[in-house]
Amino acid sequence: MEQSAIGSKLRGGFACLLLLAASCKDIERPPVFSLLLSGSGTRIGVVTTDFGSAGRFSALTQDGVPLPGLSPIHSDAVARFQNGQVTIINRLNRDNIQVLDPAVGLLTVQESPVGSGTNPHDYVRLSDAKGYVSLYNRSYIQIVQPATGFLTGTLSLAGYADIDGLPEMEALHLEGSLLYAAVQRLDRNQSNLPPAGVSKLVEIDTGSDSVTASFDFPASNPFGKFRRVLFSGVPHLVIPCPARLGFISEMDGGVAAFNLQTRAFRPGFLYAETTAGGDILDVEILSDTEGYATVLDSVFNKSLQKFNPSTGQKLAVLSFSPATAGTISGLLLAPNGYLYAGDASFSQPGIKIYSTQQNDTLLTPLPVSVGLRPFDLIYIP
């Protein structure tokens, strides 16, 4: 896809910058009986895409055995698991929330629009009556009724907009009765969307739907999804903040951690770009001393790195993908100690599986094929 795609998709998926999109038809819905064969139980869900016109959601066993069946989704989508269901956030040009039921072979049981051109980026469910959708192309969070998919209200964050009039809302997280929203604040008036100021973590009371506090990220451009992890038994929200990335890459960001008890960011970074050697785009934390990150360097090489979150030290490089070969997309650490990484290479895309309990041994000599190129991964208990 051409460089101008970042403007048209408005960060609906940064990996689109790295790959040439192939043109193909939308995937047809498979027969119901084939989906039902996928059964139930613990699975690894995979969002895949051709980075053009088609996407699908499929699943693997924890040991990497592909399960039959797939669900057609948008070519620009991410997934979440909430309330026993898989939620697909279909982003720009599909602009809806799609719900898949793992109990019936991941069939689509609901598809709810959130407004044409709104470009939803994340979704959290508070109850049957209330959920929240961050909209990248609006200055408000959309309030929805999950049971019906109806749009029931809005929560304005216009006060956090930057010079272009939009706040660029990315990740959401529910912590009890509090909603946290990552506000990037990027300048759409310039190419490649540079940071327009300090990015904000906005805290919202879900009872009154009012902002109760905001906190400055230690670097700009919080990117991707929040991970809730424990440091010394204390819950934190962890998210990469790559600041200037891609075509305007600079060593100006790192992995930020917000202490949910003290309601303050930890000083410094868990892992700095100056140590990683590039923009950190995704992260998983295993323990106080072991973490994993996908890193994009200034010439678009991608690597999967291991680091120490307590010291910020780089420990190892588990894999390296040159820009000419493809990219690493999607990272998931499962409770069984397996680390799943999406290999979106041109020649043999699939999922690589590492055992963190066996010195990060690669368990898959070849990537496990999931059809199209992987983009996002979730754990389905």
At residue 277, the pLDDT reads: 98
Q: Give the chain's end-to-end CA distance (angstroms, integer).
A: 35
At residue 24, the pLDDT reads: 37
At residue 41, the pLDDT reads: 76
> Does the pLDDT at position 212 exceed 60?
yes
At residue 40, the pLDDT reads: 57
At residue 7, the pLDDT reads: 36
Residue 11, by phi and psi: left (phi above 0), alpha (psi -120 to 50) or beta?
left
At residue 326, the pLDDT reads: 83
pLDDT in tens, 65-112: 999 888 999 999 999 999 999 999 999 999 999 999 999 989 999 999
Confidence bin at 160 (pLDDT 50/70/90): very high
10 Å Cβ neighbour count for 304? Answer: 23
DSSP letter for each residue of 211-264: EEEEEE-SSS---S--EEEEETTEEEEEEEE-SS-GGG--S--EEEEEETTTTE
> Does the pLDDT at position 23 exceed 80?
no
At residue 354, the pLDDT reads: 98
Q: Check residues 53 and 212 and name the one with the higher pLDDT.
A: 212
> Does the pLDDT at position 186 exceed 50?
yes
At residue 269, the pLDDT reads: 98
Q: Which of 8-22, 133-147, 246-260, 334-348 has the lowest mean pLDDT?
A: 8-22
Average pLDDT over residues 254-274: 98
Average pLDDT over residues 102-130: 96
> Does the pLDDT at position 222 exceed 90?
yes
Cα 270 from Cα 313, distance rounded (Å) = 9
